[in-house]
Structure 1
């Protein structure tokens, strides 16, 4: 069993009952998650003066949402419960987040037309804190998988907690801190995704260490 099989979000290419060698859906899920997270995080830190993050809706629906959800579905026949659960869950997260931001959904306007609404901010804060809890549970499982995966989910847990705290307190500095840490999360996810993609190649230019833990 290879390090990537033991220490990543997914198992290495799996030969099912039909004898066919399945491709690794891990890089798709990781790159989709990383790209969507990077864009939103850059918006959160105010890059290029962007204050309204609604351009993220398209990415959240089709990249972070649909593509990652499909990666999770493809992990189930590979027998990888952890990867299937993580990818599917975060795919659903991005789909739900995009739905909140779509004006036609009526979700945000239900709290009133004003720019700042205490009830709306509290509702979003609870939303983020719930996902922080889910991510922390994933982090606990990752502690026996690899250093890189634990770093990804640990950092993501803090990032989502900061997003929730930003909604509760309405302090801009906390939102920017969440954005800055989110950029780190995206870079870690890119690294793991690239490492898994290279590991799937027989003649890869280089191999990236993921820090997989050795198990007996």
Structure 2
């Protein structure tokens, strides 16, 4: 794909300092633009990308916090979710930050970024609630031998099915990230694998195979932790681009594998 020209006029007169800034042009490649906004668009002069801050890194920070904290809880490093301060960090830092980013992305019209923030915010919150024993969600399945109901076959099988559905949701998003770059595609593919791995853990719990359930749970938590590292890397890439740091952070551009539609869009933008 050819570089996209983003013309914008910056005529500035400063009588005290005698400065005069003439109109100029800035060239931003499609890869850099998609790094910064996760949206394959051609911005126009004076549009929101120049008037508002990019909220995407804020959402990635929330994503990293949620993913890393969640992996700690799943792998048993954070203690009981209902009693551990780790759970407080998980619920009131990561998802809240992602919800703020979701709203800002919606205001700015960044469709895909908005969908990503909303998807992960809901996932972390909904699945995180299942890990809080104080909510007593398994009580309807309680028995004299299992007063909490969380060890029942029905309860764990239901969570397993729930995670299978989430895995297909992440797989769908993975298909669309193949239009962008390898880092995002890997994040979604690994998250899908992690949720299916955790689904297997819950199904093994429902069958009474606690040893295999424990192994799968730790494997799923490890994959989620790897996803959090990739999320932090992507956040760093976007922040470096916004701060104009002259260092090429590779993300594995995949846009050249797709038919180019930017030429037609660019012509339409310049004709306005």
Question: TM-score range, shorter-chain basis?
Answer: 0.7 to 0.9
- The equivalent of 1:86 in structure 2 is 116
Could you tell me which of 74, 96, 105 is aligned with 2:126? 96
The structure in which a higher percent of residues are strand is 2
Unpaired runs of 5+ in structure 1? none
Q: Which moved more, 1:100-109 or 1:57-66?
A: 100-109
Tell me the alpha carbon deviations over residues 26-85 of structure 1, each in whole angstroms, 9 at most, x when there is no partner. 1111121112211221333344xx553443432332223221122122112332211111
Q: Distance in 1 between matches of 2:222 and 2:130?
A: 23
* Equivalent-residue separation in structure 2 for 1:34 and 1:43 (angstroms): 14
1:199 positional shift: 0.7
Correspondence for 2:171: 136
Q: 1:174 to 1:9 in 2, by over 3 A?
A: farther
Residue in structure 2 matching 1:5, options 33, 41, 63: 33
TM score, norm. by length of structure 2: 0.69
Residues 162-205 of structure 1: per-residue CA shift (max 9 Å, x gap): 11111111221111111111111111111001111111003x26
Structure 1 CA distance, aligned partners of 2:49 and 2:178? Answer: 32
Residue 103 of structure 1 deviates from its aligned partner by 4.6
> Contact 1:100–1:108 (CA<8 Å) still a contact in 2?
no
| Matched residue SS, 1:130 | helix
**Rg bigger for which structure?**
2
Gap change, CA 1:73 and 1:175, over 3 Å in 2: same
Query: CA distance change for structure 1 residues 9 and 43 in 2, over 3 Å: closer, same or farther?
Result: farther
Q: 1:118 to 1:51 in 2, by over 3 A?
A: farther
Instruction: Tell me what 1:37 maps to.
Output: 67
- The runs of at least 4 aligned residues of structure 1 exceeding 4 Å deviation read 14-20
Does structure 1 conserve the Cα–Cα contact (< 8 Å) formed by 2:60 and 2:234? Answer: yes
Q: Is the 8 A contact 1:30 1:189 kept in 2?
A: yes
Q: Distance in 1 between matches of 2:156 and 2:203?
A: 6
Q: How many residues align?
A: 212
Distance 1:64 1:211, change over 3 A: same
Q: Return the TM-score normalized by structure 1.
A: 0.85
Match of 1:211, SS?
coil
**Residue aligned with 1:33, SS:** helix
Q: Which has the higher helix share?
A: 1
**Greater RCO (Cα-Cα under 8 Å, separation 6 or more):** 1
* Unaligned stretches of 5+ residues in structure 2: 5-28, 143-147, 206-212, 261-272
